[in-house]
Amino acid sequence: MSAVTRRQFLAAAGLAAAGPVLANAATDPDFDVIIIGAGAAGISAARRIAQSGKTFAVLEASDHWGGRCFTDLKTFGVPYDRGALWVHETEAFPVDQLASKAGLETYKEPSTQRLRIAMPPDPRLRVPTRKARVSELEEFYSKLVSCNQAIASAGPSDISCASALPKDIGDWRPTMEFVLGPFLCGSDLSAMSANEYALWVKPENTVRVRRGVGTLMGRLALGAPMRFFSPINRIEWGSRLVQVETRGERMTARAVILTASTAVLASGKIEFRPSLPVHFAQAIDKLTLGSLDRVAIEFNGNPLGVQSDELIFEKAVGRQTAALHANFLGSRLCLVQVGGKMCADLALEGEAALNDFAINWLVSQFGSDLRNSIERTHATRWSKDPWTLGAFSTAVPGGQSARKVLSKPLGDQVWFAGEAVHESLWGAVAGAWEIGERAANDVISRIRK
C-alpha cells in the first residue's frame, strides 16, 4: 500500500497538532479517509482505500495490528493466538488465497455437518476422569443439534437463547449452555437474542494459519500508513470535514471509518461532537461484548495423552466448566478456554484466578500428576484490555435490529465497521473483514461526489 508516505503522514500529523484554528482554516483535509483501528475491519478497509488511490491513515490505539486477532510469538517462543484461533472462509474473505500471497501456510477443517455450529469438526468429550463412551458422544452430538435447531426456530417473539432450549435435555443442559453460549459466543445464553442466533451464518469451512491468525493480519496490513499508540478521544462531525483528536493532535478527513468495539464506544472513551443520535447510542448499548479468555499452559511432554489440535469438552455438572484446545498447532501448549459471566468474574480477580481455575479443571479431567509437568502459563484478559473491553458482540434479547442501525453512516461522514455491524457473520473475522471492505466502498463512492 502506498497511498501516502510516512513523511506525508507525519507531516500531516504535525499540521494537525497546530490546533483547531489552523485545522478549521485549511481548505483541504489532511486525508481523504481516516481509519480508526487496525483490526481485521481496519486492515480490510485500508487495503480497499489504497486500491482507490485516496489518501488515508490508520490510527491504532494499541501497540499492534490485528485487534482481537493477536498472535503472541514471544511468551512461549511459538505462535500463540491470544484471540481468534481459526477463521471462517467466505467468498468475501478468501483466506487461503490471501494467506498464500502473504507467504503463510494454512489448512482447512470442514465444519461438522451434523452439528452445523461454528466450530472445528469432531470435538471430543470427557465424562470427568475418562473419555466418553461412543453412546455418550453420540448423545452429545444429538443434544447439540437439538438445541441449535430449537434456538434457531424460537419464533417471532425475541426471547433469550436460554429460554428457547428444549425442555427434555436433562443433565446435558449445563454442557449445551456452555458450548453454544460462553464457548462459541463469549456470552451466556440468557443474555443472547434467539432471533439474532437464527440469522447467524455458520460457514462450512474453518481455516487454521500455522503461524497464527494475528500473523496473517500483520502480513495483510504491511505497507499501510499506520500509527500505533494513537487512541482517539474525540470525533467532531457534522461540518464540511470530520476532525479526530488523538493525544491532543487533530487531523481532518472527508470521511472516517470507525472500527472500535461496541464496548469501547459505550464506555465513552471516544467523545462525539455533536453527541451520537439516540438511535445510534441505543444500538451500541444493545450489542454487548461478552467475555472469552484462554489460559495457555506449556507442558513438559504430553502428560494429557492427547493429539495435536484436539478440541475437548466435558459433560458439565454446572457453570464451572471449560474447553481444551490440546497441543495447539502441534506445540506443547494446551489452551483452556472459558467464557461468559464466569470468565468475566475470573478476569476481574486477575490472571492468577484464571490460571488456578484452568489447572484445577485439567486436574479434574486428567489427574493431579500433570501439575508436575507444567512449565509456564499465560492467561488472556480481553475484558480488561482498555482498547477492546471484551470478546465480541452479541445482541441482547430484543436487540437484533441494532446491527442494521450501525450499518448506516453517521451524517454521511462516519462509518461504523467491525464484526458488530455484520447482521449474519457477527463474532467472526470474516464478518469484520467484509464490513471493513463494505464501509470502504461506501466511503469511496461518497467522496467521489
Q: What is the pLDDT of residues 304-339, one digit of tens each?
A: 999 888 899 999 999 999 999 999 988 999 999 999
Q: How many CB atoms lie within 10 A of CB 63?
A: 8
What does the block give as the cell for 11?
507531516
Q: How many CB atoms lie within 10 A of CB 78?
A: 17
User: 414 has which bridge partners?
Assistant: 256, 410
Q: What is the mean pLDDT of residues 115-138?
A: 77
pLDDT at 114 over 70: no
Q: What is the pLDDT of residue 129?
A: 82
DSSP labels, 212-261: -HHHHHHHHHTTS-EESS--EEEEE-SSSSEEEEETTEEEEEEEEEE---
pLDDT at 271 over 60: yes
Choose the weakest-confidence range: 28-37, 116-125, 249-258. Answer: 116-125
122-141 burial by CB neighbour count: b if 16+ within 10 A, else e?
ebbbbeeeeebeeeebebbe
More confident residue, 340 or 3: 340
User: What's the pLDDT band for 448 if we cut at 50, 70, 90?
Assistant: confident
Percent of the chain with pLDDT over 70: 91
396-418 pLDDT tens trace = 999 989 999 999 999 999 999 99
Q: What is the mean pLDDT of residues 177-205?
A: 91
Q: What is the pLDDT of residue 192?
A: 96
CA dihedral 342, 346, 351, 356 (to 10 degrees): -80
Choose the weakest-confidence range: 19-28, 163-172, 223-232, 386-395. Answer: 19-28
Q: What is the pLDDT of residue 201?
A: 82
Mean pLDDT (the chain) is: 90
Q: Is 339 helix (H, G, I), strand (E, B) or coil?
A: strand
Choose the weakest-confidence range: 245-254, 300-309, 333-342. Answer: 300-309
153-189 pLDDT tens trace = 887 889 999 999 999 999 999 999 999 999 999 999 9
Q: How far is CA 25 from CA 215, 256, 358, in A?
A: 42, 20, 57
Cα 292 to its chain centre, rounded Å, is 10
What are the start-end ranges of the E strands in 48-204?
A: 56-59, 71-72, 80-81, 87-88, 106-110, 124-127, 130-131
Q: What is the pLDDT of residue 107?
A: 83
User: 319 has which bridge partners?
Assistant: none
Q: What is the pLDDT of residue 397?
A: 95
Q: What is the mean pLDDT of residues 375-393?
A: 96
User: 338 has which bridge partners?
Assistant: 293
Whole-angstrom Cα distance, residue 394 to residue 336? 22
More confident residue, 23 or 303: 303
User: What's the pLDDT band for 37 if we cut at 50, 70, 90?
Assistant: very high
227 contacts 58 by C-beta, under 8 angstroms: yes
Q: How many CB atoms lie within 10 A of CB 449?
A: 5
Secondary-structure percent of the chain, ordered helix, strand, coil, rounded to 5: 40, 20, 40
422 contacts 435 by C-beta, under 8 angstroms: yes
Whole-angstrom Cα distance, residue 72 to residue 261? 21
253-268 burial by CB neighbour count: b if 16+ within 10 A, else e?
bbbbbbbbbbbbbbee
| Single-letter amino acid code for the residue at 283 | A
What does the block give as the cell for 133?
463412551
Name which of 98, 34, 37, 10 is nearest 261 in CA terms.
Answer: 37
Whole-angstrom Cα distance, residue 290 to residue 192? 10
pTM of the model: 0.90
Whole-angstrom Cα distance, residue 152 to residue 56? 41
pLDDT at 12 over 60: no
Name which of 316, 305, 307, 309 is nearest 127 in CA terms.
Answer: 316
Q: Is 411 helix (H, G, I), strand (E, B) or coil?
A: coil
User: 415 has which bridge partners?
Assistant: 257
Q: What is the pLDDT of residue 109?
A: 65
More confident residue, 75 or 199: 75
Strand pairing of 242-246 and 249-258? Answer: antiparallel
CA dihedral 83, 86, 89, 90 (to 10 degrees): -30
Q: Which domains does the chain have, with CATH numbers?
A: 6-67+212-288+396-447 (3.50.50.60), 124-199 (no CATH)
Determine whether 110 is exposed, middle or buried from the number of CB atoms within 10 Å of its CB (0-12, 13-18, 19+).
Answer: exposed
